[in-house]
Structure 1
């Protein structure tokens, strides 16, 4: 994953601080915005880990500090729930101007409620995912404890949350009471994913039920069994990110999927401005092929010869396991390690005499098998490896018939 610091301004002209997490070896297929939990920041562990998991699945993710929090400018005392929603809209405007308009909103806790409100106000959003979100923003009032009465009576009070002092004004309380997440869910027409833990002691799972019942289809619910509200555990947070990415793929088509199609088994598409980064559609699967940086590529995908060697490796492993299952031989794992090179014919002991003038394509294949097979069985497995269909294709006379269409 690649991560860079960014800044953008909100509707009041205040500078908000964020980080943009990008996939390691490819351009993002879509952009997402992450709304952090109440009084948290962009660097909170759950925010960071979910964002990284989404980036590993090809998303570019903007996580930022709401006004008056973390590294962002502004006075927290002057903010409220509605200003958080406005900050999300500003973040979307920034991405649309500098990168690409976001298609996914993700929010944690109160950030999840804000994501539902903002999702209906940002035209490019196609999907919204919430994590442990309250069904009503007013839910956070209980975190103010005894100071809530002071805020109502005197207009403001200082509250200590997670070891930090925050000043809350009466306008913050009033704003919470004016906004209903259930009502916003009723007005949301984008796809909605609700993730919530039944063990959440901060925001009970009843909140997820209320949001789900209010929302339109398409809507989905995933239980985060065993997780706590703040999603501190890295494994749980990574799981959440991958779940969101997999779910969103149904509602957010990637540019690769939208731009190439074929009646053949495989199609490759390469635009002039993309260097060697080639879009591939192999059956129903999309990926990229590329060349290494040292030869002018971006290294966004395997090279054509790596794909060819990969075909041989995959077919070898499949053929061996298929044969073993048919014989009722248990092979725990089979690994096929393959490299491709051009070998001088005079160095090749098995080359035909007709090849001696030049070089020959050579695949070096090593097979590692974890099993209890005896020596005779292993010898048979090695013979079977040479019978895999791709191996046979590489050894047979082939032809490529080409025409312009």
Structure 2
């Protein structure tokens, strides 16, 4: 998906650096992503989630809070409230660009910030938190040893993940007044709480507090085995898939009209991981899949291989064709199962007389229905060969390829 570099003024006028992940196809909705404490817009989880949502037509604006990453301003002068104000500024900028946000996603402290910001923004339909603390003051545990100095001197230098930050007294006081109980009880959007039970930075107890304080509609999804930063690709992919599927229930995503001449629309495949083979696949706005290669071929085995999808196409079309025929005839077919495998064989093995290799699909069909007669079973097996995908694979196809400028 295309990613644009943009900027906009934050709460104090400082320019905030941002990335805008735009859909390659129709733009159907907009989301804001708030990163974790002292992190940034470009962490792996943010990039993966943004890419997945963009694949389903949702643009994602992710930005560095004031004083972090590539954004201007002094981090020492920021607070939890200023983070919330930066989110409001981001939403205002997006609305001015004709992309008012309807979805807020926040990671860690950013999760607490989006809950607070949702109450100040119009048009928000859904909020997602990932590893978020119920009490923003939780972040002070990362520099507990410096709290006496901050109280005495008004500020102190602290080391966080190998980087030095100045934490001011106002930050401590502000987070201490930021508990989310009252805000959650009045939240007027759908809420998805995602948290890892093994999170050692923010306890999963926070997720329970957030979930219990909020009213329905609300959902909880456990990020089993994931660390706080969602650093593993498979965990980020899982979180992205869940968010994409869940958000579609609460955000109106109008189906765009298919291009002329393609009644089923376009299947779009977009590279998700340039270092591997993971691919995002979208068909319309409600069908999203991933393709990959097995570990043995350098992939991560997070999705079916291209040949796996080809076999799935043959199997699905076979099952549908059999069901359609049995339904029309009124035959007592209870269930259809099609097992498909694919391999390469020498053409002479297929009695073609050629020395070249060809593709062979082995298809095993199971028809359940005790009342089916032998004649009906035989006929349904014959009908399997009439499925459109079967016929397409049997004959030569033309593939026209052009480079898009």
Q: Common fold, TM-score beyond 0.5?
A: yes
Residues 294-313 of structure 1: matches in 2 within 5 Å?
Answer: none
The answer as to whether partners of 2:194 and 2:222 remain within 8 angstroms in 1 is yes
Q: Which residue of 1 aligns with 2:227?
A: 228
Q: Give 1:381 deviation, angstroms.
A: 9.4
Q: Which residue of 2 aligns with 1:82?
A: 81
The answer as to whether partners of 1:38 and 1:110 remain within 8 angstroms in 2 is yes
The answer as to whether partners of 2:190 and 2:217 remain within 8 angstroms in 1 is yes
Q: Give 1:178 deviation, angstroms.
A: 1.3
Partner deviation per Cα, 1:206-242 (whole Å, 9 max, x = no partner): 1011111111111111111111111101111111111
Q: Which residue of 1 aligns with 2:339?
A: 332
Taking structure 2 as the reference length, what is the TM-score of the superposition?
A: 0.70
Q: Give 1:317 deviation, angstroms.
A: 3.0
Q: Which residue of 1 aligns with 2:126?
A: 127
State the SS of the aligned residue for 1:180.
coil
The answer as to whether partners of 2:31 and 2:59 remain within 8 angstroms in 1 is yes
Q: Which residue of 2 aligns with 1:4?
A: 4
Partner deviation per Cα, 1:350-369 (whole Å, 9 max, x = no partner): xxxxxxxxxxxxxxxx9852
Q: Which residue of 2 aligns with 1:34?
A: 33
Question: CA 1:321–1:240 in 2, change beyond 3 Å: closer, same or farther?
Answer: farther
Partner deviation per Cα, 1:178-216 (whole Å, 9 max, x = no partner): 111222211211111100111111111110111111111
Question: CA 1:37–1:382 in 2, change beyond 3 Å: closer, same or farther?
Answer: same
Alpha-carbon distance in structure 2 between the residues aligned to 1:127 and 1:156: 37
Is 1:240 aligned to 2:239, yes or no? Answer: yes
The answer as to whether partners of 1:278 and 1:289 remain within 8 angstroms in 2 is no
Q: Which residue of 1 aligns with 2:272?
A: none
Is 1:317 aligned to 2:322, yes or no? Answer: no
Alpha-carbon distance in structure 2 between the residues aligned to 1:368 and 1:16: 56
Unaligned runs of 5+ in 2: 268-281, 285-312, 326-332, 343-357, 366-377, 392-405
Partner deviation per Cα, 1:84-112 (whole Å, 9 max, x = no partner): 00011111111111131000000000000
Question: CA 1:368–1:317 in 2, change beyond 3 Å: closer, same or farther?
Answer: farther
Question: CA 1:289–1:332 in 2, change beyond 3 Å: closer, same or farther?
Answer: closer
Q: In angstroms, what is the RMSD of aligned CA positions?
A: 3.6
Question: CA 1:90–1:328 in 2, change beyond 3 Å: closer, same or farther?
Answer: closer
Point out the structure with max Rg over C-alpha.
1
The answer as to whether partners of 2:190 and 2:218 remain within 8 angstroms in 1 is yes
Taking structure 1 as the reference length, what is the TM-score of the superposition?
A: 0.70
Which of residues 336, 361, 368 is equivalent to 1:369? 361
Alpha-carbon distance in structure 2 between the residues aligned to 1:318 and 1:192: 38
Q: Which residue of 2 aligns with 1:206?
A: 205
Unaligned runs of 5+ in 1: 258-268, 271-275, 281-286, 291-299, 303-311, 336-365, 374-378, 393-405
Q: Which residue of 2 aligns with 1:148?
A: 147
Q: Give 1:278 deviation, angstroms.
A: 9.8
